[in-house]
Chains A and B, each alone.
Chain A
Amino acid sequence: MLEDTIIAISTPPGFGGLGIVRISGKKALAVAGHIFQPKKRSKKSFPARRPVFGTIRDPERETALDEAFLTYFKAPRSYTREDVVELSSHGSPAVLEGILRLGTGAGARLAQPGEFTLRAYLNGRLDMLQAEAVNDLIRSVSLTQARISSRQLGGSLSRRIFRLRGKLIALLSRVEAGLEFPEEKLRTGAPADRRTIDSLAAEVERLVAGYEAGRALRDGLTLAITGRTNVGKSTLFNALLEEDRAIVTPYPGTTRDFLREKLVIDDLVFHLVDMAGLGKPAHPVEKTGIARGQKIARDADGLLVVLDASRKESGEDERLVRKYRAKKMLLVFNKSDLPGKIDRRMVRELAGGSPSIDVSALKGRNIDKLREAIRGHFAPGPAKEEDVILHARQKDLLQAILEALGRAAGLLAKGHSVELYAEEIRSCLPLVGELTGQVRIGEVIDDIFGRFCVGK
């Protein structure tokens, strides 16, 4: 257990200003080195306990994910007494999950809940007095617990996973019966297996897709306020938050960096981001700000596109709306206290039929309506709540099942013999077992005898 290198987000879920990903194990430094590029390229090694600035990079795609600090804690002077690397970056869940993905790609394994503490314990970092507490922790973060919390939240998730388990056992029992009892002319065979595998895979895929919805419920959704300069984004930001958080001036290019704040509407958490407006940059700082803003808008879960209703729409407005038409967006026609000049219908059409609302951020008009519109438009619907998967670990398990089913379907399509794709289906049992409690092969055998009349 202590042989592999583990990785996990160690800051609480949500949109903190700062997020930390922690890697522990023999390969911690190697993994980090793979995905982290120091700013000063000359830096070949990392000094212990001294933060080094740089970027998180996807080694395959050569793209930067975010800026970050890397701090190296050399064994045994670390939390787990193993080599530990901490990467602190911006706290966006998207960024942090991205780092996890890269880290696992570079050879680390997603930590089990509580596993860092467990290692600290095993390596003698924690004393015996803490043993009970650790034990409790390990147990409380078990999958049972996860199952309970998912039941509370999603209701039907565990039912769906149990149904999946049942279907998997039924599929396997059919495949195995055909193998074990070749002399009984059982109606089993590749075409039927193929259909079952495909429908199972589709079901798992839906569950995996629900992970995103689950994340939204847990961590909150990011909403970026975007639009040209001076359309009143910062004024709107302040109005929604009901506090003077952002600086407002009559001059274009006021907001240069971005600001995020939590906005709670009913039971839902949104992370509202105000940022530099789009337009001709007058200053290099502005230029960076705009670039950042575009990236944030791209990564956000939804956009509030602010337009100045008192002016005729500009080419800039049109380009903006067209660029993000694939994203979930809400058009906000601001400054509606002034005589209107904008062609609302035209803009709406450009936006691919996204909903719109007229407000005056300055006068506070229609802001309540806007809140309702945000809730209505961006919140995951009840249908999605059913699919909620709470933990990255559960998603990983489902993903692994999906991959095994994919390989099974592939083998089947290429004409490989039954026992080979049976092997892939069998490999799903321990994975499902981790989600729902152990599946013994006896259960499959029971199912065979319940389903088929076999034997002499």
Chain B
Amino acid sequence: MKAADGFDVIVVGAGHAGCEAAAAASAMGLRTCLVTIHLETIAQMSCNPAVGGLAKGHLVREIDALGGLMGLLADETGIQFRLLNRSRGGAVQAPRAQCDKAAYRLAMKYKLERMPNLTVFQGIVAKVLVTRGAARGVETLDGTRIEGKAVILTPGTFLNGTIHIGLRNYPAGRANEPPSVDLAEQLKKLGMRVFRLKTGTPMRLDRDTIDWSSFTPQPGDAEPVPFSYRTSGHLQNKVICYLGYTNAATHAVVRRNLDKSPLYGGKIKGIGPRYCPSIEDKVVKFPQRTRHQFFLEPEGLETTEIYINGMSSSLPYDVQREILGTIPGLDKAKIMRPAYGIEYDAVSPTELLATLETKKIRRLYLAGQINGTSGYEEAAAQGLMAGINAALSIRKKAPFVLRRDEAYIGVLIDDLVTTGVEEPYRLFTSRAEYRLLLRIDNADRRLMEYGWELGLVPKNTWKEYQEKRDRVESAFSFLRKNRLKSAAGDSVTLFEHLKKPEIGLRSVLEYGKFPGALSDEECRHIESETKYEGYIKKQEREIAKSVRSDSMKIPVNVDFSKVSGLTREAIEKFEEKRPATLGEARKIPGMTPAAVQNLSLYLEIQAKREVSRARVSRGT
């Protein structure tokens, strides 16, 4: 298949990574083709019906500030909203929304179908076409060839996917969807390091067969906080989630049936995520616990399906029923979809550059679950960055890479490509060195200008951002100018006063009679900036310092064996990873500080020699 004169970017897989990648590339003006197995499952949430949470909500804000879609659509299709950690400081607050899964899928499909430059096409990609070390297109199972200048692979859990329920298993990419086998085999042939991971999902229950009085309601926030800077109007909570607990009888059933678990029975070899433990894992690893909590979450407004968050399992169907039987309120619940586990291939992300382009094949980009991550938000963030970088590369422009101190997206991708993964990777706020700087309330400050320059942020959003920035600045100068007399008689600026932990901005502004009006969002931003001021300044100084040292370039032709004082092991690691900068060298797993110091020493000396040689040759 060909567009009038070929495509620029071809995206394989319309999951959360693929949708963002395709949307970004086409919004940047490139002719883009999005090929996916089923048009009905575009942007399918394979597991829980929710977006956001700690670190993940941060990612969504960042995606949004760069002009991505996830935040906007989660707001549009959200049915319950919560801001987590409300009682704590701004850096660790993050939004989370329950979404109507079907509505989310449709909203994304609607959006993509109407994007100029974007063709959405149904097909199973069997092969990436590679000529002279560069990706030039793809071929589907039925032989259709789609040609382009760059290929982004986002096949999620589909590569050599195997579903496990009890000791039975069968090939599938997701429940009742075909796996991608040919593509997986081709990646291995191209020399990519492929490894096996696993994950799982809980059962879906029929709402009308649950005794809801047995569970504790968990309502949404009174004042929902949106993900997106583009969402206007009030968000509405339309459903309530419920909290419940397992009990000793539940655990006994699990224990008695462990021999039927593919994991404990040794059938599953892939490594699972520890932060999404199955009920089997919970019972085995924490035997002293007498109960485990779970949440009952509606999958949407038009369906009676209820997702039971915390009950992921790959035990056989009849054991799943037995488990539910031990929990008052669920004892009569009907399972509409059984829980299952899935094993799949992932490509080691150390095969990638920071742009998510593979090191081995030019113009081939990988994003999402294929890179060993897990989670919709992690996938979307990578998809966006891969889409942007493919477009920039075709346009022959400098790549777009975010630093760890600029964005969680930077932390995520840097962790992936420099450290690699051993188990499914999930983002945590603690992975960021500069957590106090990477907040939801300043994602626009940090990133929107990039989004605007890349052509992804709409004009009116950019204008609104600038107005907001001005309002915030005027509030800051107001706080710094005006003073307040304390009980002791000494006077402090309102800014200093606001630093106290128990003081909120609204009361301070009221006291000082601030003429303007600020949104809650703007208040949160000002409070964070004020309360964290000392730390922010200190961290910014540290960043400036480490940027200088880490950015020291390692020439591509450097002979590591010439660096004196390196162990054989260190030389081999350097040869293998060929770090481009001292910062990358430092991050090689198992690398000792002494080795990096020796390298840095060597480079400094070489640089000095270059200079003196240059001087000599110029005859000075």
User: Could you list which residues of chain A lie within 8 angstroms of chain B, going by C-beta atoms?
Assistant: 1, 118, 121-122, 124, 131-132, 135-136, 138-139, 142, 176, 179-185, 414-420, 423, 426, 438, 441, 444-445, 449, 453-456
Instruction: Check B293–A184 contact: CB distance below 8 A.
Output: yes
CB distance from A240 to the nearest CB of B (A): 46
Q: Which chain B residues (89-129) contact chain A, with CB distance < 8 Å?
A: 89, 91-92
Instruction: Check B88–A419 contact: CB distance below 8 A.
Output: yes
Instruction: Check B275–A138 contact: CB distance below 8 A.
Output: no
Q: In the complex, what residue of chain A is closest to B94 when comparing beta carbons? A: A182
Instruction: Check B55–A456 contact: CB distance below 8 A.
Output: no
Instruction: Check B565–A420 contact: CB distance below 8 A.
Output: no
The CA of A418 and the CA of B502, in the complex, are separated in Å by 13
The CA of A118 and the CA of B416, in the complex, are separated in Å by 34
Q: In the complex, what residue of chain A is closest to B595 when comparing beta carbons? A: A139
Given A131-B564, A456-B276: A176 in contact with B286 (beta carbons within 8 A): no
Q: A183-B84, A417-B92, A423-B435 are in contact. List 13 more A-B contacts (CB 8 A).
A: A121-B605, A122-B601, A122-B608, A124-B608, A136-B565, A179-B429, A182-B54, A415-B501, A419-B89, A420-B535, A453-B282, A456-B310, A456-B312
- Residues of chain A within 8 A of B549, CB atoms compared: 1
The CA of A42 and the CA of B292, in the complex, are separated in Å by 79
Could you jot down 24 A-B contacts, CB within 8 Å?
A1-B600, A118-B601, A124-B608, A131-B564, A131-B605, A138-B598, A176-B428, A179-B88, A179-B430, A180-B54, A180-B55, A183-B295, A185-B293, A416-B501, A417-B88, A417-B89, A419-B92, A419-B435, A420-B532, A420-B535, A444-B430, A453-B292, A455-B273, A456-B312
- Residues of chain B within 8 A of A426, CB atoms compared: 430
- Residues of chain B within 8 A of A417, CB atoms compared: 88-89, 92, 501, 531
Q: State which of B289, B310, B429, B605 has its C-beta within 8 Å of the C-beta of A180.
A: B429
Q: In the complex, what residue of chain B is closest to A416 when comparing beta carbons? A: B501
Whether, in the assembled complex, B436 has its beta carbon less than 8 Å from a beta carbon of chain A, the answer is: yes
The CA of A442 and the CA of B488, in the complex, are separated in Å by 48
The CA of A454 and the CA of B273, in the complex, are separated in Å by 11
The CA of A185 and the CA of B243, in the complex, are separated in Å by 11
Given A182-B54, A453-B277, A456-B312: A176 in contact with B430 (beta carbons within 8 A): yes
CB distance from B363 to the nearest CB of A (A): 32
Q: In the complex, what residue of chain B is closest to A414 when comparing beta carbons? A: B501
Q: In the complex, what residue of chain A is closest to B422 when comparing beta carbons? A: A442
User: Could you list which residues of chain B lie within 8 angstroms of chain A, going by C-beta atoms?
Assistant: 48, 54-55, 84-85, 88-89, 91-92, 273-277, 282, 285-286, 289, 292-295, 309-310, 312, 428-431, 435-436, 501-502, 531-532, 535, 549, 564-565, 593-594, 597-598, 600-601, 604-605, 608, 612
CB distance from B278 to the nearest CB of A (A): 10
CB distance from B119 to the nearest CB of A (A): 36
Most buried by B among A185, A417, A426: A417
Main secondary structure of the interface of A (DSSP, over half): helix
Given A180-B430, A456-B276: A419 in contact with B436 (beta carbons within 8 A): yes
CB distance from B581 to the nearest CB of A (A): 16
Q: State which of B435, B502, B564 has its C-beta within 8 Å of the C-beta of A415.
A: B502
CB distance from A441 to the nearest CB of B (A): 6
- Residues of chain B within 8 A of A121, CB atoms compared: 601, 605
CB distance from B310 to the nearest CB of A (A): 5
Instruction: Check B92–A418 contact: CB distance below 8 A.
Output: yes
- Residues of chain B within 8 A of A138, CB atoms compared: 565, 594, 597-598, 601
- Residues of chain A within 8 A of B289, CB atoms compared: 453
Q: State which of B276, B430, B604 has its C-beta within 8 Å of the C-beta of A455.
A: B276
Q: State which of B91, B274, B436, B594 has its C-beta within 8 Å of the C-beta of A449.
A: B274
- Residues of chain A within 8 A of B293, CB atoms compared: 184-185
Instruction: Check B89–A420 contact: CB distance below 8 A.
Output: yes
- Residues of chain A within 8 A of B282, CB atoms compared: 453
- Residues of chain B within 8 A of A453, CB atoms compared: 277, 282, 285-286, 289, 292
CB distance from B601 to the nearest CB of A (A): 7
The CA of A239 and the CA of B531, in the complex, are separated in Å by 67
Q: In the complex, what residue of chain B is closest to A132 when comparing beta carbons? A: B564
- Residues of chain A within 8 A of B429, CB atoms compared: 179-180
Instruction: Check B564–A456 contact: CB distance below 8 A.
Output: no
Instruction: Check B605–A122 contact: CB distance below 8 A.
Output: yes
- Residues of chain A within 8 A of B430, CB atoms compared: 176, 179-180, 426, 441, 444-445
Instruction: Check A179–B285 contact: CB distance below 8 A.
Output: no
CB distance from B416 to the nearest CB of A (A): 13
Instruction: Check B565–A135 contact: CB distance below 8 A.
Output: yes
Closest 3 CB pairs of A and B: A417-B89, A135-B565, A455-B275
The CA of A456 and the CA of B604, in the complex, are separated in Å by 49
- Residues of chain B within 8 A of A445, CB atoms compared: 428, 430-431
CB distance from A48 to the nearest CB of B (A): 25
Most buried by B among A184, A415, A419, A423: A419
Instruction: Check A179–B54 contact: CB distance below 8 A.
Output: yes
Instruction: Check A418–B88 contact: CB distance below 8 A.
Output: yes
Instruction: Check B92–A423 contact: CB distance below 8 A.
Output: no
Instruction: Check A139–B565 contact: CB distance below 8 A.
Output: yes
The CA of A28 and the CA of B36, in the complex, are separated in Å by 66
The CA of A182 and the CA of B604, in the complex, are separated in Å by 47
- Residues of chain B within 8 A of A183, CB atoms compared: 84, 295
Instruction: Check A456–B428 contact: CB distance below 8 A.
Output: no
- Residues of chain B within 8 A of A124, CB atoms compared: 608, 612
Instruction: Check A179–B85 contact: CB distance below 8 A.
Output: yes
- Residues of chain A within 8 A of B88, CB atoms compared: 179, 417-419
Given A135-B598, A456-B309: A122 in contact with B604 (beta carbons within 8 A): yes
Most buried by A among B275, B282, B598: B275
Instruction: Check A438–B593 contact: CB distance below 8 A.
Output: yes
The CA of A438 and the CA of B593, in the complex, are separated in Å by 8
The CA of A419 and the CA of B92, in the complex, are separated in Å by 7
CB distance from B146 to the nearest CB of A (A): 38
The CA of A445 and the CA of B436, in the complex, are separated in Å by 18
The CA of A196 and the CA of B565, in the complex, are separated in Å by 41
